[in-house]
Structure 1
Amino acid sequence: MQVNPDNLLNAYERGFLDRNTNKVSHHPPKLIINSNEENILSPILDEMEICDSFIISVAFITEGGLATLKSTLYELGKRNVRGRIVTSTYLNFNKPKVFRELMKLENVDVKVTDQEGFHAKGYIFNNRKYSAMFIGSSNLTDTALKKNYEYNLKLTSLENGEVINHFNENFETLWAEAAPVDEIWIEKYEAEYEEEPERRKIIQIIEDQSKYEYKAITKDRIEPNLMQQEALIQLRNLRAADKNKGLVISATGTGKTYLSAFDVKQYKPKRMLFLAHREQILDKSRKDFSSLIDEPSSAFGVYSGNQKDTDAKYLFATVQTLSKEQNLKQFDPSDFDYIIIDEAHRSGAATYKKIIDYLRPAFLLGMTATPERTDDMDIFSLFDYNIAYEIRLQRALEEEILSPFHYFGVTDFEQDGIVIDETSPLSKLVNSERIDHITEKIEYYGQSGEERRGLMFVSNRREAAEMSGMLNARGYRTVPLTGKNSQEQRREAVRRLETNQLDYIITVDIFNEGVDIPSINQVVMLRQTQSSIIFVQQLGRGLRKHENKDYLTVIDFIGNYKNNYMIPIALTGDKSYDKDRLRKSINTRNMISGVSTINFEKIAKEKIYKSINTSTLNSQKFMREMYVYLKNKLGHRPSLVDFKRDKDTMEPLIIFSKFNHYIEFLQKIKEVDVTMPDSHHRILTFISQEMSAGKRVQETLLIFEAMQGPVNVREFQLKMVKEGYHMTDQTMASIMGVLTHRFFKKQEQDKYRYPLVDVDDGTLSLTPEFSEMLEDDIMKGQVEDVLQLALLGSENYDQSEELSLNSKYGRKDVCRLLNWVKDEASTMYGYKYKHGTCPIFITYHKDDEIEETIKYEDQFLDQHTLRWFTRSNRRLDSKEIRNILDDHRENGLPIYIFVKKDDDEGKDFYYLGKAEIDYDTLKETTMNGLEDGKPVVTMNMMMEHALDYEIYRYLEAHTH
């Protein structure tokens, strides 16, 4: 079906003449500028996903730029969709390897023009409906597509459009004159490329301003990076406050060891001890310290199995060796005034505690990337709960402290319709077909730079050994490394990898942490994500910057694992465990900072969706783990507000999805033993279940005032208006209905029983039951905690409006916030016309089991226009339909649009704003246009606000 030309004309009227037009418009022109909110890569990939052919004309291409398209190009190849790319050798910017990467794309033809000064940047994607054109300043580089300040205009054209034809004609001329890229051409270019390194270097710097982890000012001087500068200040401040312990939480690769060396340098201890759990860490740390601290090499010693430099000023010791009784007693408890514990999340172990309990330093520093524990071990108490500094993966990427990465979630091998993955027998894990599948993916997605330096994580030792043998038989150079290998064997394997004598080290878990191989440019995950902690540790092995790589490639083979939902948690760092946020995160193009990208092949993405939908993320076991972690981190029982403010733990509202209130949860996990009067239990249940989200904060503010004494209702209303809160007489009446329970259905009135307020002659006061409850300090503390949680939650909503755009609401929320006298959610169905309002609720993806004759076809035609269907058995002359149409035309009846993607999302809908009926589109038809379908009325709704682009993409994903 073609795009309606009139709608495209309307789009250009909106884009170039009148942005306020209410005409139906498809595919408006748009200026796209890379920012935190959007980038040119996202819409390019959107159009590429649905195209039938494409052409790209760009002067410059980098490996990283090409990597951002590879997953989508792979899916196009499965649909037999072909494309053509014309590029250049202008300024010899394009590396020869880029052309070899282009040759891997079986569904893409590539040519090179010798047009002098060729500097074009154009992308065209054709499908059966229209052509989408991107013209501007972005080359096919990851920095140009995601980070650099670029101007790009997106235009949409039909087949006969003058602009699209002119572009096509010029492209065909260029194509006819350009040279095809093949191995002979590449070899010739390679020779030319090597002759002009200086000019190439200049243009490379112009295109990509990325910076390395440390900036060498002179041969002997290294400056701290951003993280280290901030952390050094915080450590000084901590000691100035007379604290003698501190914990630094810093993403892998951000330079924790150098940070500790910088801090030792500024602290100037008489003697220092550096504790680690592996000799490999000691060797590297000792070298790093000696490069920064101006002391003779003899001042830096090692204390481990084979070497015991007992008298060294700066001593680097393994925990295993030092914790032995006879070794530890060689030192006086006060010998070291500064002690550093590397990988401090291990420090709760008995060997660490033995050392910590014996020695008495003036300052103790712990360093870790992952303080979270899967057990109940309390790490934070060892450092007196002093978190000196914290920087996680997302911010480290934003600040360009780490190497960017391109993650590819791919499907593990399928045989006879069954996915072969970690849960399969060994004979299937390492059979020839699966190895072929793995090698196909690692070759297709490749790595930055000529030489591959890869880490492959597998599930067990036998798999590591057999896979290494089969890969070696195919010409790869690999070794398996497991816990059974000696330290010397591990060191030798790392040395061989770094000197290009190996392509891969295949391991189980021994390289999760404590191994520093900055040159790693490919990480392959062939095991399920058991926890987000391990995932980040394994990802982190390749995130250190290195002069020979521009980015890290991560290839994650995704099987039928129940815990696939952990993948978006690990990648985004969002540990709220909110299912809706997890679903959106794997669909959004902006889930990761900087030039890094997250890419999923279609089937792999579907496996993660399934995992999110079927997993129980509010289990008591999970909530207890989150509780224990935060309790350990804070050093006391966390409040609900503590949960809300800490970004490393769950959203506290999850507790209320399973328990009536927080005390009930604490009782269940045996953290408190409180006997509550029935009235206290019911009132706390009401506040927790009905007020904690803060969707309308005025109730909360009113209760806070009433807790201080009687409140004059009219004065409170005026105060709310003056302070910018949404407030009308109807709003005030609705608030009173909620707090007196009149709003609720009888079943809920029986459940809550005790209202919070009484109103007498315009004065509001607390009920006797609520007042009596507040006399109990524990109960008062619980009430205030929930109310403070509501205040924090209210910050996510625009409280100056009755409803907040793009926020989520349930049907009961909508009844309340639209000031309905009663909760009528149970009879609201798809929409309800009542109390001078008409909310419409749309489930965008209908259940496949719904009978075709009654299935709704609601759809956004573009970001401005919703095609809406009434409920079935309605005609234009039906009373319900006439009332809505007439009231909207004559009285401005507000129509509110609420949408959710599918029923798996739960009961809440996105509020997408108000809409106007386009009366010219009114039509009586049947469900799905079937002859025997039930009658229905359809019309277009013009949205007051254009849909948020990411929500629009999320709703539209996989709908066609």
Structure 2
Amino acid sequence: MKNELRKSLETSIFDAQIESNISYQHSLISNDMDEKIISLLREELETCDEFIFSVAFITLGGLTLFLEELKKLEEKNIPGKILTGDYLTFTEPKALKKLLSYKNINLKIANNNKFHPKAYLFRKGEIWTLIIGSANLTQSALTINFEWNLKVNSSENGKLIKSVLDKFYNIFNTSFLVNEDFLKLYEAKYRELKNIKILENSLTYPQEIKANSMQEEALKNLKALYSTSSKALLISATGTGKTYLSAFAVKEYKAKRVLFLAHRKVILEKSMESFKNIIKDKNMTIFDRDFSFLNFNSKKNTQIQINFTDNKAIDTENLIVFAMVQTLNKKEYLENFPKDYFDYIVVDEVHHSAAKTYQNILNHFQPKFLLGLTATPERTDNFNIYEFFDYNIAYEIRLHQAMQENLLCPFHYFGISDLIINGESISDKTSINILTSDERLKHILEKSNYYGYSGEKLHALIFVSSVQEGELLSEKLNFLGRKSKFLSSKNSDTERENSIKDLETGELEFIISVDIFNEGIDIPCVNQVIFLRPTFSSIVYIQQLGRGLRKYKSKEYTVVLDFIGNYDRNFLIPIAISQNSNFDKDNMKRFMMNATNILPGESSISFDEISKEKIFENINNSNFSNKKLIEHDFNLLEQKLGKIPLLTDFFENNLIDPSIILKYKKDYDTILKIFRSKLNLGNLNILEKEFLIFLSTFFTPAKRIHEMLILKEFLNFSNLNEELGLLYFENILKNTYGLISQKENIENAFKHLSKEIFINLSQIKPYPYILENKNGFYSLKNEFKASYLNNMYFKMLIDDLIKYNLGYCEKYYKQSQSESLNLYREYTKQEAFWLANLDFNNGYQVSGYTPFNKEKRLMIFITMVNSNARNIYSNIFYDNKTFNWFSKSSRYLEKNGNDTIEGKIAKNFYKISVFVKKANGENFYYLGDVDKILDFKEVKDLHNKSMIEYIFKLKHEIKRELFQYLNL
């Protein structure tokens, strides 16, 4: 251990090229695009034997980031000491109270105005890790602020750590112990100062509301559309200010008379309030049954007046009318309006406009401009909202972009494994008795209480699966004194609005619902969202999550509790939260491994181990290459684009990935014939079909750029008549893609397309070659060339396939310098051989390792969870560079006086490339080459047969999140 520390010190201080254990190297820790400070602190907490925090400030938001880890530490009785200060009374009493609840934590507060350290210490065995710098224990400091912290490792006898611990204990031992009495006094002081600040803020002059950066961009796009079109669609995530944006748009357009349509009165009231904050020179009114009605005194629009029941009349020259669709739709109202009465019409939640009530109104009026607002344009009722707005999308503000721009309240998500009751896991088929059992309700309340909320009172929204479940849970909560209300579609708007007001005032703690709060309801006070239902739709999931993401005066973040059972579609959770709908299993697992770092802003994600395993298992076992899923995205994309979508369209719009589509059927021609059989899009002859399948099956998705680049250049170069040489492609790869030393890769790619290698691979035999070799010069096969020139349908499919593959490779498998395989990306065994330029025909059935003596290359394929019964040993990663590996059974270092393959491995004869997967059914992650063999020895398997165990050290450090996944 001491030797490893010395080596790490040399690497950190003297020479970065010196090899050492990365875990012990000094490093700078900060918030950047790839990692947040919180992720590294969580990792240290998960593995420590003792921890010490000495920080000037602690907030509940900062503490909430650690709740999952703190719970585990308490369960394992890992001791912790936390010292904080009372400077400016910044540390929050709720944070202190939470820390006081842990039996394993000794909490003290330094009554010293100059107490300002920011240090985190973790002991693991005899090693201490010190992280010291600028970051307090606050939400922003640990996620987004520009903070610098130095991580240093030391043995317990090191002078530095002894000095730090001595200074810590000097203060800690003389500081106040935080107990209930201290907390009462501190909380009183905190509240007094907080009330003074609230009073000061209320006395400040209100600032003018201005468009944020995203709204300004949308307004600029709208302005450009005004001269060319009469309508546009604005897609804006819940809580991102689309109503304010529409008010800015109306103001900028200088419309005289405006109609704002919505389907609920509460939306109209809040929308009018927003408009009044932006537009000061117009009369505004809500059109409803309280009017005596419209009295048209003249056919001239400018003389029309609205008479209220109190007989007050207003001039309608400058008027904004807020109307409920259900009311304005009535014939006796609608027909009294001239068609051109309104200059500008705004339709909120416009995805409902397929309904007859909306259509009646929109078909009646002929405004100069129509603006539709929606957070979810994706429809399942076959109404094409994009077509209705002439495919004019003014702007799209999706969840992650809104979070990046700080338009939404941060959230802290906790994936919690649901209970096992009477031996039965909660699933899609669980009975209502179990779903509403006392045991499950107790579990829900315990988690709700533990993970808490931001603000003074709990304002929770619970989503359940059925009316019966919601009614029973509400009844039981009320019996326990936890005030709740269940709402469903049976409840009137007035009942819903009253319940929301009761939630805001604290008369209710919980509102339970079945889907009715997916959209159109503004409840900013919600500070805890609880999912007690399986996820059937990523769209609905985000809609429901969005109920808690509106900013609110006393809310710094929202706690999201997702009770995860054995649901069939658990994989939708990472799809929904990551906002990545391409159904790529690797992307889904990477998000699960690294979610907090991937999420923009101050938000965080935590899964307990059981729920994480359930989702990983669900991802691995799910088949996304099915007709229903593909057809759903096909229809959605066709609506959005107004044309038959091609593979590239799926890729560019972040929908189901073309590689998954092509696993359902071997080529896109077949897909088009299935989904649009009535359209005569084109036809392929037998040879063209084989060309297409060959490229779609063996070269898609492209994990290096060479084959598709070669094909693209041959198709584009001098009307297909020229033969292109090696030097031509070397120059393109160097000048366009920054790749060097590509001769071998190019030659190999030529041979792939010409089928000069892998000719014995059974799967490849039926297909025709595309390039032909003429005395060392390659050119397109004549039949392929003729089809490309003469069959426009074939040309379209080939061009689309090339464009998608080039885009896919650039996005996920972008190479650098001379490398052909990308570290930490996924490959099949066949792809590994192909891209390493190794001719091996049995790629789909290869054993655990394959030697290439001529090339002096060994390819190792490791399954971490190995089901092979012969082996009593486990594959283990000792750290993120070092692991063990076993040969096959009945293997020796020497045989008949000669080195075996295993003996050559021990003597470093081979360049060893390592590919690892966690379990069967997955692809392999490429971990690079072995740097050195640290040890090897003969061991016995279950049948007492000899095998060799090696200890390898990699050249490159495995990324933290992948290392954690492989060791999960």
> Structure 1 length as normaliser, TM-score?
0.91
Matched, 1:262 2:262: no
Instruction: Find the counterpart in structure 2 of residue 208 from structure 1.
Output: none
Distance change (3 Å), C-alpha of 1:722 and 1:431: closer
- Could you give the per-residue CA deviations for residues 396-444 of structure 1, whole angstroms, max 9, x where no partner exists? 1111111111111112233233234674333332232222211111111
One of 626, 639, 645 as aligned partner of 1:632: 639
Instruction: Find the counterpart in structure 1 of residue 211 from structure 2.
Output: 224
Distance change (3 Å), C-alpha of 1:629 and 1:329: same
Instruction: Find the counterpart in structure 2 of residue 164 from structure 1.
Output: 161
- Structure 2 Cα separation of the partners of residues 349 and 356 of structure 1: 11
One of 78, 81, 84 as aligned partner of 2:78: 81
Distance change (3 Å), C-alpha of 1:933 and 1:599: farther
| Aligned amino acid, residue 875 of structure 1 | Y
Whether the 8 Å CA contact 1:855–1:927 is kept in 2: the answer is no
One of 120, 136, 161 as aligned partner of 1:139: 136
Matched, 1:619 2:619: no
Matched, 1:952 2:963: yes
SS of aligned partner of 2:650: helix
Instruction: Find the counterpart in structure 1 of residue 948 from structure 2.
Output: 936
| Aligned amino acid, residue 733 of structure 1 | E
Q: Which moved more, 1:746-755 or 1:675-684?
A: 746-755
Instruction: Find the counterpart in structure 2 of residue 429 from structure 1.
Output: 435
SS of aligned partner of 1:795: helix
Whether the 8 Å CA contact 2:706–2:745 is kept in 1: the answer is no
Instruction: Find the counterpart in structure 1 of residue 672 from structure 2.
Output: 666
One of 694, 699, 706 as aligned partner of 1:691: 699
Q: Which moved more, 1:138-147 or 1:216-225?
A: 216-225
Distance change (3 Å), C-alpha of 1:226 and 1:558: same
Matched, 1:364 2:363: no
SS of aligned partner of 1:221: coil
Distance change (3 Å), C-alpha of 1:656 and 1:751: farther
Matched, 1:922 2:922: no
Matched, 1:897 2:883: no
Instruction: Find the counterpart in structure 2 of residue 211 from structure 1.
Output: none
- Structure 1 Cα separation of the partners of residues 493 and 729 of structure 2: 72
Instruction: Find the counterpart in structure 1 of residue 712 from structure 2.
Output: 704
Q: Which moved more, 1:279-288 or 1:247-256?
A: 279-288
- Structure 2 Cα separation of the partners of residues 440 and 319 of structure 1: 43
Whether the 8 Å CA contact 2:432–2:469 is kept in 1: the answer is yes
Q: Which moved more, 1:795-804 or 1:450-459?
A: 795-804
SS of aligned partner of 2:665: coil
- Structure 1 Cα separation of the partners of residues 662 and 766 of structure 2: 15
Whether the 8 Å CA contact 2:726–2:743 is kept in 1: the answer is no
Deviation at 1:27, TM superposition (A): 2.7
Instruction: Find the counterpart in structure 2 of residue 316 from structure 1.
Output: 322
- Could you give the per-residue CA deviations for residues 851-908 of structure 1, whole angstroms, max 9, x where no partner exists? 263645252x3334344444444333342134445564xxxx5432322232242xx3
- Structure 1 Cα separation of the partners of residues 856 and 372 of structure 2: 59
Distance change (3 Å), C-alpha of 1:326 and 1:746: farther
Instruction: Find the counterpart in structure 1 of residue 225 from structure 2.
Output: 238
One of 498, 523, 527 as aligned partner of 2:504: 498
SS of aligned partner of 1:746: coil
Whether the 8 Å CA contact 2:902–2:948 is kept in 1: the answer is no
- Structure 2 Cα separation of the partners of residues 28 and 11 of structure 1: 5
Instruction: Find the counterpart in structure 2 of residue 210 from structure 1.
Output: none
SS of aligned partner of 2:684: coil
- Structure 2 Cα separation of the partners of residues 421 and 821 of structure 1: 47
| Aligned amino acid, residue 486 of structure 2 | P
| Aligned amino acid, residue 702 of structure 1 | I
Instruction: Find the counterpart in structure 2 of residue 719 from structure 1.
Output: 731
- Structure 1 Cα separation of the partners of residues 611 and 724 of structure 2: 59
SS of aligned partner of 1:483: coil
Instruction: Find the counterpart in structure 1 of residue 313 from structure 2.
Output: none
Deviation at 1:528, TM superposition (A): 1.6
Instruction: Find the counterpart in structure 2 of residue 281 from structure 1.
Output: 267
Write out aligned runs for 1:374-413 (5 A): 374-413=380-419
Distance change (3 Å), C-alpha of 1:479 and 1:880: same
Deviation at 1:195, TM superposition (A): 4.6
| Aligned amino acid, residue 268 of structure 1 | K
- Structure 2 Cα separation of the partners of residues 516 and 191 of structure 1: 33
Distance change (3 Å), C-alpha of 1:379 and 1:603: same
Matched, 1:876 2:887: no
Instruction: Find the counterpart in structure 2 of residue 825 from structure 1.
Output: 843
Deviation at 1:220, TM superposition (A): 7.3
Whether the 8 Å CA contact 1:710–1:763 is kept in 2: the answer is no
Q: Which moved more, 1:849-858 or 1:372-381?
A: 849-858
Whether the 8 Å CA contact 1:216–1:222 is kept in 2: the answer is no
Distance change (3 Å), C-alpha of 1:276 and 1:737: same
Whether the 8 Å CA contact 1:875–1:937 is kept in 2: the answer is no
One of 532, 536, 540 as aligned partner of 1:534: 540
Matched, 1:508 2:495: no
Deviation at 1:18, TM superposition (A): 1.7
Whether the 8 Å CA contact 2:31–2:144 is kept in 1: the answer is yes
Distance change (3 Å), C-alpha of 1:180 and 1:904: farther
Deviation at 1:106, TM superposition (A): 4.2
Deviation at 1:200, TM superposition (A): 8.3
Instruction: Find the counterpart in structure 1 of residue 302 from structure 2.
Output: none
| Aligned amino acid, residue 659 of structure 2 | L
- Structure 1 Cα separation of the partners of residues 242 and 72 of structure 2: 40
SS of aligned partner of 2:601: coil
Instruction: Find the counterpart in structure 2 of residue 739 from structure 1.
Output: 753
- Could you give the per-residue CA deviations for residues 819-867 of structure 1, whole angstroms, max 9, x where no partner exists? 22443424642332214152433435223x32263645252x3334344
Deviation at 1:23, TM superposition (A): 5.0
| Aligned amino acid, residue 84 of structure 2 | T
- Could you give the per-residue CA deviations for residues 171-199 of structure 1, whole angstroms, max 9, x where no partner exists? 44444323222221111112332454599
Instruction: Find the counterpart in structure 2 of residue 757 from structure 1.
Output: 771
> Structure 2 length as normaliser, TM-score?
0.91
SS of aligned partner of 1:825: coil
Write out aligned runs for 1:810-821 (5 A): 810-821=828-839
Distance change (3 Å), C-alpha of 1:827 and 1:87: same
Distance change (3 Å), C-alpha of 1:254 and 1:712: closer
Deviation at 1:817, TM superposition (A): 2.0
- Structure 2 Cα separation of the partners of residues 744 and 306 of structure 1: 80
Matched, 1:302 2:320: no
- Structure 2 Cα separation of the partners of residues 119 and 722 of structure 1: 53
Listed as ranges, the gaps of 5+ residues in structure 2 are 295-305, 307-315
| Aligned amino acid, residue 235 of structure 2 | I
- Structure 2 Cα separation of the partners of residues 83 and 200 of structure 1: 34
Distance change (3 Å), C-alpha of 1:695 and 1:629: same
Distance change (3 Å), C-alpha of 1:114 and 1:927: farther
- Structure 2 Cα separation of the partners of residues 383 and 218 of structure 1: 41
- Structure 1 Cα separation of the partners of residues 964 and 613 of structure 2: 16
What percentage of aligned pairs have identical amino acids?
A: 36
Whether the 8 Å CA contact 2:328–2:334 is kept in 1: the answer is yes
SS of aligned partner of 1:903: coil
Distance change (3 Å), C-alpha of 1:186 and 1:22: closer
Deviation at 1:715, TM superposition (A): 4.1
Whether the 8 Å CA contact 1:737–1:821 is kept in 2: the answer is no
- Structure 1 Cα separation of the partners of residues 366 and 337 of structure 2: 11
Deviation at 1:393, TM superposition (A): 0.8
- Structure 1 Cα separation of the partners of residues 255 and 196 of structure 2: 48
- Could you give the per-residue CA deviations for residues 779-815 of structure 1, whole angstroms, max 9, x where no partner exists? 0111111011122122132164322233322222222
Whether the 8 Å CA contact 2:428–2:568 is kept in 1: the answer is no
- Could you give the per-residue CA deviations for residues 567-617 of structure 1, whole angstroms, max 9, x where no partner exists? 111111011111121122122131311111011122222222222222222
Instruction: Find the counterpart in structure 1 of residue 46 from structure 2.
Output: 49
Whether the 8 Å CA contact 2:586–2:826 is kept in 1: the answer is no
- Structure 2 Cα separation of the partners of residues 615 and 742 of structure 1: 36
Instruction: Find the counterpart in structure 2 of residue 655 from structure 1.
Output: 661
SS of aligned partner of 2:664: coil
Instruction: Find the counterpart in structure 2 of residue 209 from structure 1.
Output: none
Distance change (3 Å), C-alpha of 1:341 and 1:843: farther
Deviation at 1:222, TM superposition (A): 1.4
Deviation at 1:948, TM superposition (A): 2.7
Distance change (3 Å), C-alpha of 1:238 and 1:751: farther
Matched, 1:681 2:689: yes
Matched, 1:790 2:795: no
- Could you give the per-residue CA deviations for residues 20-56 of structure 1, whole angstroms, max 9, x where no partner exists? 1135665322211211112221111112112233222
